[in-house]
Amino acid sequence: MSPIAASDEGRHPSGPEALWGESWYFDFAASDGSYGGYVRLGLYPNRGVAWFWLALVHPDRPLVFIRDHAVPVPNGEALVLDGGAYRAEIRADQPLERWSVVVRGAARSRDDPAGAFHDAPTAWTDVDVRLEWVAAAPVFEYALTTRYEQTSHVTGSFTVDGRTTAVDAPGQRDHSWGVRDWWDNPWCWSAGTFADGRAFHLLNTVFPGGGSYTTGYTVAAVRGAEGWTEVTAGAVDAVLDPELLPTTVGLMVGDLAVTAAPIAHAPLLLVSDDGRESRFARTLMHYVDADGIEGTGWLESNWPPGTAPETAPTASPAET
C-alpha cells in the first residue's frame, strides 16, 4: 500500500459494490468534558445518496443532531451538501494539515439520547457550526484497509438556538473508502488526548467468520516532532447498560491502560434496506490512565444484529 498522499484527501473512484462508500469523520472533545461533537459525511455513489451526521453534546443539555441518509451525493470534488433544511461544507484547506467544517440550518434535539433506538420524539433547533481541524500528529494509515486517522486540534465555534460555544479542543479525524457493511461485524473504536499532551487511538473489530483485527497508535506529545507509535495489541472491556450504551470501559492500547466513563451519549440506529438494525453507540468519554492523568475523547461501538450481548449490562464489543 502506498503512503497516504495529499491527493488521498479527496474522493476516490468507487468500486462496483452497493455498499462501497467513502467517508470523512471529524471529532472534538473539550479537555474539561464541557462540550464535544462529531461530523460524518459518507458517500454511497452506487446508491446515489450520502449520509450526513452531526452531533453536538454538553453533559447538561439535550443532544443536538442531524441524521440524514437521503441527501444527494454532491457533484464533482467539492464536499458540499444541500439537505434542504441545512447546508454543510467540508473542505481540505491544506491537505494532510488543515480541514474546515461549516454546517448551518435546522437540526433536531432529544433529551434522552437512547431514544435514537426507539424513534423517540425530537424537537427542531437551529445550528451554526464553524470549526477547523489542524494536524497535531502525522496521519496514521491502516494496514488492513483503506483508511487513515489523524490526531488534531480543533478551534472555532458552534451555536445552538443563539447560544454559542467557543471551541478550542483536542480532536480526531479520519478518511476511509471501500466496502463498509454496518450490519456485518461488531467493533469498538476510540480516540483521546490527555492533559499532558499524549494521545491515543484504538480499533478492535471482530470478523463474522472468526478472528479479529486490532490497530491504533499512541502519541507522546501532540504537535511535537516525534509523531505516533503504532500498536497492534489492544483490548476492550466494556460494561454496557440495557440500551448497549457504555457505562464504564477499560482499554489497553499497547501497554497504555485507560479507564473510561461516559460524559454524554450521541448514538444512532442504522437500518439496512432489508430491515436489519445496528445499534451504533457514540459517546463523549472521560479518560484516565494508570497514573491518574485525565483526558477526553470519543468512543464508538457498533452492534449488528445477533452480535449484541444476550444479557446486559456486561459485554465486551471486541476480541483481541
pLDDT digits (tens, 9 = 90+) for 27-48: 999 999 999 999 999 999 999 9
- For residue 9, pLDDT over 90 is answered with yes
Cα dihedral sign, 252-254-257-259: negative
Looking at the predicted structure, is the pLDDT value of residue 1 above 70? no
pLDDT at residue 23 tops 90: yes
pLDDT for res 309: 67
Average pLDDT (89-106) is 98
Tell me if 250 is assigned to some domain. Answer: yes
pLDDT digits (tens, 9 = 90+) for 261-315: 999 999 999 999 999 999 999 999 999 999 999 999 999 999 998 887 653 433 3
- Tell me the pLDDT tens digit for each residue of 187-211: 999 999 999 999 999 999 877 666 7
The contacts of residue 34 (CB under 8 Å, 6+ apart) are: 58, 59
Q: Is residue 206 part of a domain?
A: yes
Flag whether 279 is in a domain.
yes
Residue 193 lies inside a defined structural domain of this protein: yes
Question: Residue 44: which of 175, 174, 177 has the closest Cα?
Answer: 177
* Angstrom distance (rounded) from CA 303 to CA 66: 21
Mean pLDDT of 202-222: 87
Average pLDDT (231-241) is 93
pLDDT at position 310 is 55
Given a cut of 90, is residue 244 above it in pLDDT?
yes
Long-range contacts of the stretch 157-164 (C-beta < 8 A, 24+): 157/129, 157/130, 157/131, 158/37, 158/56, 158/127, 158/128, 158/129, 158/130, 158/131, 159/126, 159/127, 159/128, 159/129, 160/56, 160/64, 160/107, 160/109, 160/125, 160/126, 160/127, 161/125, 161/126, 162/126
Q: Does residue 221 have a pLDDT over 60?
A: yes
* β-bridge partners, 314: 239
State how many domains the chain has. 1
**pLDDT higher than threshold 50 for residue 319:** no
- 124, three cell numbers: 427542531
Range of the domain at 179: 21-315
pLDDT of residue 7: 95
Would you say 284 and 36 are in contact if contact means Cβ atoms under 8 Å apart? yes
**Which pLDDT does position 222 carry in this prediction?**
86
CATH number reported for the structural domain that contains residue 32 in this entry: 2.40.370.10
Which amino acid type is present at position 59? Answer: P
Preceding amide of 313 cis, omega within 30: yes
pLDDT number for residue 320: 29
Using left for φ > 0, alpha for ψ between -120 and 50, and beta otherwise, residue 259 falls in beta
11 assigned to some structural domain:
no
Residue 232 belongs to a domain: yes
What is the average pLDDT score of the chain? 93
- Mention every residue, 6+ apart, whose C-beta is less than 8 A from residue 235: 204, 250, 251, 252, 320
86 lies in some domain: yes
